[in-house]
Amino acid sequence: MFRYRSLAAFLAWVSVAIFSVWMQAGQIAAPQAQPPSPRVSHVRVGIDVLEEQHFRLLRGKRIGLITNQTGVDWRGRRTIDVIAHASGVKLVALFSPEHGIGAKANAPVGDSVDGPTDLPIYSLYGNVRRPTEAMLNNVDVLVFDIQDAGVRFYTYVTTMAYCMEEAAKRKIPFFVLDRPNPLGGEVIEGPTLDPDRTSFTGYFPMPVRYAMTMGEFAQMFNAENHIGADLYVMTMQGWHRRDTYDQTGLPWIPPSPNLRTVNAVFLYPGVEILQAGEESVGRGTDTPFELVGAPWIHSAELAAALNSRNIPGVSFAPAQFTPSEDPYNGKLCQGVRIRVTERDSFRSMRMGLEIAHVLHQLYPSHLYAGWNILLGSQSTFERLIHGDAPADIVASWSADLDKFRKMREKYLLYK
């Protein structure tokens, strides 16, 4: 019988022994790349700053609030409740974006009522996409407080812009309570949206990943799109451009049902462009955007082809999964599981093009026209289908990205 000087030593030996056995048996997967440690102890977002100023700029006003479950202050209280109970202001109406006020719906939603406040909730992702005259009849000021995903085709950007346009028409002041770009404020990538392809999933000709906050966007849209809103941005305190969301110290609240983690947000830009093709991107599984597959894919073949390309910052493992959402609801899919191994070098759009390029090479009989719905760049799509190397396609974006950087510089609020 072995003897140990303490119970703690014995338990430590047992833990190591069990771990070794499991590793040898292949029971434990290689660890995921860890996100950076938080550098900022606490960031004060726009609603926090508004509270600290005792709602000075809103006193005596009737407020319409555009928000969802991501609108909370540093204590975790809903922005809805904070404003509803603020002295000197009156909250009269709520407006919800895609996915609804609780950010849980995957389909258009109707108008409803907020239980705790008994206020009307007007859906801007149902029968209408903009607030109407009737909705704004008793509103003196519109306030926007929603966490963005940092990606051009994520529709909260468009909802904000549409609300700004309607506010400008009626001379209603528009306040943006700013929040971090979860992908940080430095890396810009992806093709610029073709000017003739603007839509609800692409409000403005800009890259897929733009490295701006909603407050900065509001300033840019207001000037460059000549909206002319009476705009106020409640800037954050303590956020820096280099900070990704998991460096802020703020808890991650999913802004939509499938963006459950910050890791998923980093994968989202490049993976989501495949959704409009014939591929599942893991919706309806426990790890959306960490999977790509279809019934007609051979998982080992796809994983080997992708890993042979040595795409910076990412690796691929064969995977099988059965999603509970379309396009392959209830059908067994083969494909790959995606693992970010080094975030600093990882570029989601480069990865997305590499996956698309390999799929087109291995399975040319399938239709891929839908890829351009979110890419939004005819030249990028044509080069991809033609078989141009993804690295060359990425390089072709350089002039447009430089032009965007120069324009964007005028509207940045943080260093």
β-bridge mates for residue 67, sequence order:
145
Distance CA 307, CA 205 (A): 33
CATH of the domain at 345: 3.90.1150.140
> Is 401 part of a structural domain of the chain?
no
Residue 189 contacts by C-beta under 8 Å, 6 or more apart in sequence?
207, 208, 209, 269, 347, 348, 349, 350, 394, 397, 401
User: Which is more confident, 42 or 347?
Assistant: 347
Query: What is the domain range of residue 123?
Result: 46-253
Same domain membership, residue 326 and residue 194: no
Which of 218, 253, 288 is the C-terminal boundary of a domain? Answer: 253
Q: In what order do the strands lie in the sheet with 231-234?
A: 112-114, 119-123, 90-96, 62-67, 141-145, 174-177, 231-234
> 255 pLDDT exceeds 90?
yes
> Is 291 part of a structural domain of the chain?
yes
- Residue 59, token pair as written in the block: 């006193």
Mean predicted lDDT score pLDDT of the chain: 91
Q: Which of 7-21, 28-42, 200-214 has the lowest mean pLDDT?
A: 7-21
Same domain membership, residue 269 and residue 239: no
What domain count does the chain have?
2
Share of the chain above pLDDT 70, in %: 90
Same domain membership, residue 86 and residue 223: yes
pLDDT, tens digit, 9 for 90 and up, residues 217-248: 999 999 999 999 999 999 999 999 999 999 99
> Is 389 part of a structural domain of the chain?
no
> Is 237 part of a structural domain of the chain?
yes
- pTM for this model (two decimals): 0.89
CATH of the domain at 196: 3.40.50.12170
pLDDT, tens digit, 9 for 90 and up, residues 362-398: 999 988 989 999 999 999 999 999 999 999 999 999 9
Same domain membership, residue 287 and residue 139: no
> Is 415 part of a structural domain of the chain?
no
CA distances for 257 relative to 17, 105, 160, 327, 401, angstroms: 39, 7, 20, 17, 31
pLDDT, tens digit, 9 for 90 and up, residues 62-84: 999 999 999 999 999 999 999 99
Three state DSSP letters for the chain? CCCCCCHHHHHHHHHHHHHHHHHHCCCCCCCCCCCCCCCCCCCECHHHHHHHCCCHHHCCCEEEEEECCCCECCCCCEHHHHHHCCCCCEEEEEEECCCCCCCCCCCCCCCEEECCCCEEEEECCCCCCCCCCCCCCCCCEEEEECCCCCECCCCHHHHHHHHHHHHHHCCCCEEEECCCCCCCCCCCECCCCCHHHCECCECCCCCCECCCCHHHHHHHHHHHCCCCCCEEEECCECCCCCCCHHHCCCCCCCCCCCCCCHHHHHHHHHHHCCCCCCCECCCCCCCCCCEEEECCCCHHHHHHHHHCCCCCCEEEEEEEECCCCCCCCCCCEEEEEEEECCCCCCCHHHHHHHHHHHHHHHCCCCCCCCHHHHHCCHHHHHHHHHCCCHHHHHHHCHHHHHHHHHHHHHHCCCC
User: Which is more confident, 404 or 23?
Assistant: 404
Same domain membership, residue 88 and residue 193: yes
Which of 230, 253, 276 is the C-terminal boundary of a domain? Answer: 253
Instruction: Using alpha carbons, select from 353, 351, 348 the residue that is nearest to residue 383.
Output: 353
pLDDT class of 276 with cuts at 50, 70, 90: confident
How high is the pLDDT of residue 42? Answer: 80
Same domain membership, residue 116 and residue 84: yes
> 191 pLDDT exceeds 60?
yes
Same domain membership, residue 305 and residue 203: no
> Is 9 part of a structural domain of the chain?
no
> Is 38 part of a structural domain of the chain?
no
As a whole number, mean pLDDT of residues 145-157 equals 98
How high is the pLDDT of residue 134? Answer: 97
How high is the pLDDT of residue 367? Answer: 82
Same domain membership, residue 269 and residue 245: no
Same domain membership, residue 336 and residue 315: yes
- Residue 129, token pair as written in the block: 């996409």
> 30 pLDDT exceeds 50?
no
Same domain membership, residue 217 and residue 102: yes
pLDDT, tens digit, 9 for 90 and up, residues 295-350: 999 999 999 999 999 999 999 999 999 999 999 999 999 999 999 999 999 999 99
Same domain membership, residue 300 and residue 164: no
Same domain membership, residue 272 and residue 372: yes
> Is 280 part of a structural domain of the chain?
yes
CA distances for 341 relative to 173, 189, 317, 346, 347, angstroms: 45, 19, 12, 8, 12
How high is the pLDDT of residue 10? Answer: 37
How high is the pLDDT of residue 277? Answer: 81
